[in-house]
Amino acid sequence: MTEIATLYYVEGETQEAIAQRLDMSRIKVGRIIKRAHAVGIVDVRVRHHPSVSAEIETALIERFGIKRALIALDHTDPERQRSEVASLVADHLTRNLSDGSVVAVGMGRNVGAVADNVFTDDSHKCSFVCAIGGSLKAGEYMNPDHICRRLAAKFGGDSETLYAPALVQHPELRQQLLENSTVRQTLDRARRADMALIGVGDMSEDSNMVRMGWFSPQEIAEARLLGTVGDMMGYDFIDIHGQTSQTKMQGRVIGLTIGDLARIPDVIAIASEQTKAAGILGALRTGVIDTLATSSSNALTVLSLDDATRKKG
């Protein structure tokens, strides 16, 4: 399968020529090539021309003072959309990581998708450090330590786990864990990172926080009534103006805060879902986001929502 895929995509051989060379039918060659797609041996990507999203990117940069915007074309399939956004972030990492780079890594499906979309032969002596604790219900795909390991394997670097739960029951317990030397050492390293990969959450009853059992649908609904529109990396709940939301859910997560992120040179916020426009706007208004990765429809909604809320403000 790999041999045929290489002949077809790399060497430029026709299916007919491959069939003659390997003494099999052209139909069988076509089926094998299709199978190579299905099992992931072949990954074909069509990059849209930069001019397609250049105007949107410029508007976001000028409006919010960010360094760059990575805008993916819209896709009806949520998983495909997540992959398209994540691939832009993966390319950004590939271009900008160097030996000695440290990347603080958050939790979630969008951050996890970045590791799946890294395709590079270059090795970097870089480090991927957990910026938030772990959660049993998050599973391997969304947990930051597993994401760090996958990224380290792709880039040839190393990873560091934050040995603490992501969520605790009381702010007092959180403070005690933050004073633990093992936890403090890892978070201090994450605070000195060159880049941070974070997700932006929404306040829907279907959010990751509800699915993982962190908060109940009722708590989410109460937070929305208080003006909460989203969260950054699973904590630091914010309103649409980028201010800290006054909800009881605050102060229970072990990880970097907005203040910590503000000191990292390139904070990359990743959000592919259409439900997250308000959360993205709130995150941008905190002033700590340097790179935004999202879909074109999300970007346009954020710009429109910014216009509407500025008029009211």
User: What integer pLDDT is reported at residue 228 of this predicted model?
Assistant: 86
Cβ 116 vs Cβ 109: under 8 Å: no
Contact indicator for 266, 194 with CB cutoff of 8 Å: yes
CA dist 129 to 104, 164, 185, 193, Å? 5, 13, 11, 8
Percent of the chain with pLDDT over 90: 60
Spatial separation of the C-alpha atoms in residues 239 and 235, rounded to whole Å: 13
pLDDT(77) > 80: yes
d(CA 292, CA 99): 24
Mean residue pLDDT of the chain comes to 88
Question: Is pLDDT at 69 greater than 60 in this prediction?
Answer: yes
For the segment 151-191, what is each residue's pLDDT rounded down to a tens digit?
Answer: 999 999 999 999 999 888 888 999 999 999 999 999 999 99
Q: Residue 204 — very low, low, confident or very high, per pLDDT cuts 50/70/90?
A: confident
pLDDT band of residue 88 (cuts 50, 70, 90) is: very high
Confidence of residue 192 (pLDDT cuts 50, 70, 90): very high
Per-residue CA distances from 45 to 33, 80, 87, 117, 289 (Å): 15, 12, 10, 11, 28
Judged by average pLDDT, the poorest of 105-109, 144-148, 199-203 is 199-203
Instruction: Judge whether residue 91 has pLDDT over 80.
Output: yes
Judged against a pLDDT cut of 60, whether residue 214 lies above it is answered with yes
pLDDT, tens digit, 9 for 90 and up, residues 234-280: 667 899 999 988 777 677 889 999 999 999 999 999 999 998 999 99
Tell me the pLDDT tens digit for each residue of 288-311: 999 999 999 999 999 999 999 985
Q: Is the pLDDT of residue 313 over 50?
A: no
Provide the β-strand partners of residue 244: 238
| pLDDT of res. 261 | 95
pLDDT tier at 99, thresholds 50, 70, 90: very high
Instruction: Considering only residues 280 and 38, tell me which one the structure prediction assigns the higher pLDDT.
Output: 280
Alpha carbons 183 and 255: distance in angstroms, whole number? 9
Which is higher by pLDDT, 135 or 181? 181
Cα 107 from Cα 197, distance rounded (Å): 9
Cβ 289 vs Cβ 283: under 8 Å: yes
Helix (H, G, I), strand (E, B) or coil at 187: helix
Q: What is the length of the chain?
A: 313
| Angle CA 90–94–95, to nearest 5 | 120
Alpha-carbon distance of 103 to 129, in angstroms, equals 6
* Per-residue confidence (pLDDT) for residue 115, from 0 to 100: 95
Q: What is the mean pLDDT of residues 96-105?
A: 95
More confident residue, 204 or 105: 105
pLDDT over 70, % of the chain: 92
SS3 of residue 74 by DSSP: coil
The residue with tokens 């910590």 is: 260
Residue 58, pLDDT above cutoff 50: yes
Question: 23 CB contacts (<8 Å, ≥6 apart)?
Answer: none
The answer to whether 196 and 266 are in contact (CB under 8 A) is: yes
Query: Which pair of structure tokens corresponds to residue 289?
Result: 């986001």
Place of tokens 């605790």: 168
| Alpha carbon distance, N-terminus to C-terminus of the chain | 60
- If one compares 200 and 249, the residue with the highest pLDDT of the two is 200
Buried b (16+ CB within 10 A) or exposed e, 256-280: bbbebbeebebbbbbbbbeebbbbb
- ∠ Cα 12 16 21 (to 5°): 85
pLDDT at 208: 67
Residue with tokens 């390991």: 149
d(CA 284, CA 291): 10
